[in-house]
Chains A and B, each alone.
Chain A
C-alpha cells in the first residue's frame, strides 16, 4: 500500500465520478433549473414590491439553494451500492473515509458548483445590491462544503433505501440549520454595513461561524459517512 497508488486511486475515483456526472448528465442541470424556478416563483407569491424582495432575498436564495442541493444528494452512494461497485471500492488502497472524501469532492464539483454560479444571476432578479450579491456567492461557496459533507452522512445512512430522497432530506435538513443561519446572517450583515457606508468586513462573526460549521462538516462527514456505509455492506 503505497502513497502513490493511494493518490492515484483517489484521482481516478474523482475523475470517474465527474465523467459519470457529465455522461449521465441531467441531475445537476435539473437542480439548477429547480433553483431558478423556486426563486422565480417568490415574486409571484409576494408581489412586485422591490424593497420587500430585496429584504427577503438572502433568506429566499439560501433556502432555495439548500432544497436544490438536496435533489442530487440521495444518489451520492446509491448507484455504487446498487451495482456492486462499492464492494470493490472498499477493497482498494484507499480507506473508506478517503473514498467518501473523493466522491464528495466530485459531487461538489459536479453539482454544487453550477448552483453557486447560478445564484448571483438569480440574486439580481430579487434586486440584491452588488455587495450582497458578492457576499452571497462567498457564503454559498463556503457553505456548500458544509452542506456536501454533512449531507454525505444522510446519503450514507439511506444508501440501501429505495426512493430515499425524502428520508435523506429529513435526516440532513436539521443539520443544515446552522449553515443557513450564519450564511443568511453574513449576507445581511454585509448589506447593513454597506448601507452604513462601510466596506465588507472579512472577520465578520457570521462568516467566521459559517466557515467553522463547514469545517466541522468537512472533518466529521467522511468518518460518519464511512461508518454508515460499513453498516450497509453487512
Chain B
C-alpha cells in the first residue's frame, strides 16, 4: 500500500516496478534477494491498472474483455460469466464502452484482474470513480489475491485495506532529484 500527497511519485514508482520506465539510478531488490536494475519477473507476470483505462471506446465491454483475455494468453472462457456477474457488468456487456460512465469503465478495466490470473498486481488508484459496492468487490478480490500468495502494490487515497499489508508513505521520502 503506497500513500502520499499528489505528486509524491506514487504512479512513477508503480511504472518503474512494471518496467514501463527505466531506472535512472538505484536498483530493485526482489524477495529472492537478487539486486537488478530492471524488474526481474517477466512482463506477463504483472497486472498494471493505471489512470488510463486501456479500453477501446468502439468495443463493447464484452469485446474489450475478450481481447484482453486472448491477448494475455489465458483464453479461459469458463470464467467469463462469473466475472461479468461479479463486477455487475452483465446488463451492460454489449454496450460500447464510450457510452458508459466513468465508474462502469473502471469496473470493466478492473475485471481484467479476475479474468486473468497474474501473480503481481500494480494498481494505481484503483478506487477512483468506483462506488461503495465497486470498492467492496475490489476489496474482496485483493483479499483473495493476497490469500493466494500474490503480491499487490496499490496506491490510494481511499480507505482500502489488505490483511498483513505494509504501508509506504512517500510523503516522508526524500524527493531530491537523482543527479
Contact = CB atoms under 8 A, between A and B. Distances in A.
Contacts of A13: 71
Contacts of B21: 233-234
B53 interface: yes
Contacts of B56: 16, 20, 83, 85
Contacts of B59: 19-20, 23
Contacts of B18: 87, 91
Interface residues of A, number: 28
B48 A24 contact: no
B43 interface: yes
A113 interface: no
A92 B54 CA distance: 14
A5 interface: yes
Interface string B32-74: 0000000000111011101111111111000100011011111
Q: Which applies to chain B's interface (DSSP): helix, strand, loop or mixed? A: loop
A87 B70 CA distance: 16
Contacts of B52: 82-84, 87
Nearest to B97: A83
A8 B73 contact: yes
Interface residues of B, number: 30
A8 B68 CA distance: 11
A9 B70 contact: yes
A9 B54 contact: no
B57 A83 contact: yes
Nearest to B42: A1
Contact of A90 (B43, B51, B57, B67): B43
B138 to A, nearest CB: 18
A19 B64 CA distance: 11
A12 B44 contact: no
Interface of B: 18-22, 42-44, 46-48, 50-59, 63, 67-68, 70-75
Interface of A: 1-2, 4-6, 8-9, 11-13, 16, 19-20, 23-24, 82-85, 87-93, 233-234
